[in-house]
Amino acid sequence: MRISMKNKLPVMFLIFWITTTAVLAGAPVQPGDRIAIVGNTFADQLRIHGYLETLLLQYTADKPVSIRNLGWGGDMLTARDRPTNFPSEEETLTAHRTDVIIACFGLGESFAGEERIAAFKSDLQAFIASHAGKKYNGKSEVRLVLVSPIAYEDLGDITPAKEKRNRELAAYTRAMGEVASDAHVPFVDLYTPSLYLMNDPTGPNLTTNGIHLNRYGYWAMGKSFFDQLTVSNQMHGHEPWRLAIDAEAATASARGVKISEVETSDTAVIFMVTETSTPSLPPPTDQPLPPQMQFNRDTLRVERLKPGMYQLAVDDQRVASATAEVWAAGVPIDSSPAHHAAEKLRAAINDKNLQFTYSWKALNQVHIVGERRTSPSGKELPREVIESSELANQRDSTLHRAIELKARRWRISRIEK
């Protein structure tokens, strides 16, 4: 069940809003930054999906960022309990030499209702003050970024009080923006773009239960998150690949790649594609996507093919098939060798995050303060914590090597249906 399309924001307004918000916020993430993510379940689950981190790493490849996710399911500004005998948050921020803290709060706090807005703002101010003047990197004051909660998705009977919850979430988002503005702290509003996507009847649900994003939700929101963190930086922002071929004239145009050596015949079009930017991450769904999400996919358009069915192969690997008519309109390209490499990078990022999790979270408290603390596994835990942290550092240092742009041979061949 979806909210009516009559509530949908105009596309151009959304694009303007995303750009303006990030520019006003100062777009704090810079190449080479050492970043820590703190906050609630939304923050915690970023580490197992990896879409935001992959985007940031792809577009700082020459001077890569380094990210540690300290998110904890259920965290709120004033409720952040931690297990005993593990490194504290401040110790971890210092060990990572943190330049930037991205703080995701507001969802848990919003359940207190609009009457607790003033208290929430006071807690946010205290959070900002707690990091004021801290030099976790040993040289400069840490920079903060505040991130709003997402909207509440309409999933029918399992998501009651939808209008009330979104009023509250909108109010807490506004409050967070006000505190950020007063403190001159960058602010990322994920409430507005998530509500926009939830209002569109096209595409999969974004959440599992109205408040927690699923894999598709993290893919969809990762792009908005990335744009707001980087749009006014000197970094090259990500734009999807756009390839266009005229099969009769043997001419081509492109964005994100360079096309050369175009050869055409009655049954095939062959050309070289030199990758000048990394590919877009494939959507984790086969369902139709909303127009703005479809626009973010890499696309190849081939005009004036003779009627028939055609298959695209990249370096002899099958990628996509469609009729000449569909190719003329444009076909999403999500499974080329470059796209497989991007997914491999995301998997490596998720593995690095898992190793860090072992050094940061107690997965079984009984080994720390319970009956197994004197067992062989309990006695080994301190050493394993240190080793897991070292493994995370080792994996982190090699992630940028996974980004390799190549020249590849693309071939569109006529096939039998």
Q: For residue 16, is pLDDT > 80? A: no
Q: For residue 17, is pLDDT > 60? A: no
* Nearest CA-CA partner of 412 in 270, 308, 277: 270
Residues 244 and 226 in one domain: no
Residues 293 and 393 in one domain: yes
Q: For residue 236, is pLDDT > 60? A: no
Residues 32 and 127 in one domain: yes
**Rg of the Cα atoms in the chain:** 23
Residues 105 and 65 in one domain: yes
d(CA 373, CA 369): 6
| Arithmetic mean of pLDDT, 115-127 | 98
Secondary structure element (H or E) that encloses residue 332, with its range: strand 331-332
Q: What is the pLDDT of residue 389?
A: 86
pLDDT-based confidence at 59, cuts 50/70/90? confident
Q: Which residues of 288-316 are buried (b: 16+ CB within 10 A; e: fewer)?
A: ebbebbbebbbbbbbbebeeeebebbbee
pLDDT tens digits for 172-220?
A: 999 999 999 999 999 999 999 999 999 999 999 999 999 999 999 999 9
Residues 267 and 218 in one domain: no
Last-in-domain residue among 208, 230, 252: 230
CATH number at residue 135: 3.40.50.1110
* Nearest CA-CA partner of 182 in 136, 225, 146, 149: 146
**Full domain range(s) for residue 412:** 239-417
Q: For residue 373, is pLDDT > 90? A: no
CB 241 within 8 A of CB 277: yes
Residue at token pair 């069940």: 1
Residues 243 and 212 in one domain: no
Q: What is the pLDDT of residue 111?
A: 97
Q: For residue 329, is pLDDT > 60? A: yes
Residues 216 and 324 in one domain: no
pLDDT-based confidence at 405, cuts 50/70/90? very high
pLDDT-based confidence at 286, cuts 50/70/90? very high
Higher pLDDT, 415 or 386: 415
pLDDT-based confidence at 57, cuts 50/70/90? very high
Residues 213 and 184 in one domain: yes
Which residues, at least 6 apart from 64, have a Cβ–Cβ distance to it below 8 Å? 31, 32, 57, 399, 400
**Averaged pLDDT of the chain:** 88
Q: What is the pLDDT of residue 395?
A: 92
Whole-prediction pTM: 0.89
Higher pLDDT, 50 or 231: 50
**Pairing mode of beta strands 143-147, 187-188:** parallel
Last-in-domain residue among 230, 249, 264: 230
> Which stretch of 125-134, 268-277, 400-409 has the lowest confidence by average pLDDT?
400-409
Residues 61 and 127 in one domain: yes
For residue 313, give the 3-state DSSP assignment.
strand
Q: What is the pLDDT of residue 27?
A: 67
Q: What is the pLDDT of residue 22?
A: 37
pLDDT cut 90: percent of the chain above it? 77
| Domain count for the chain | 2
Residues 219 and 244 in one domain: no
| Arithmetic mean of pLDDT, 131-139 | 97
Residues 140 and 206 in one domain: yes
Last-in-domain residue among 185, 213, 230: 230
Q: For residue 263, is pLDDT > 90? A: yes
Q: What is the pLDDT of residue 372?
A: 53
pLDDT tens digits for 375-398?
A: 665 555 666 777 888 889 999 999
Q: For residue 86, is pLDDT > 90? A: no
Residues 385 and 261 in one domain: yes
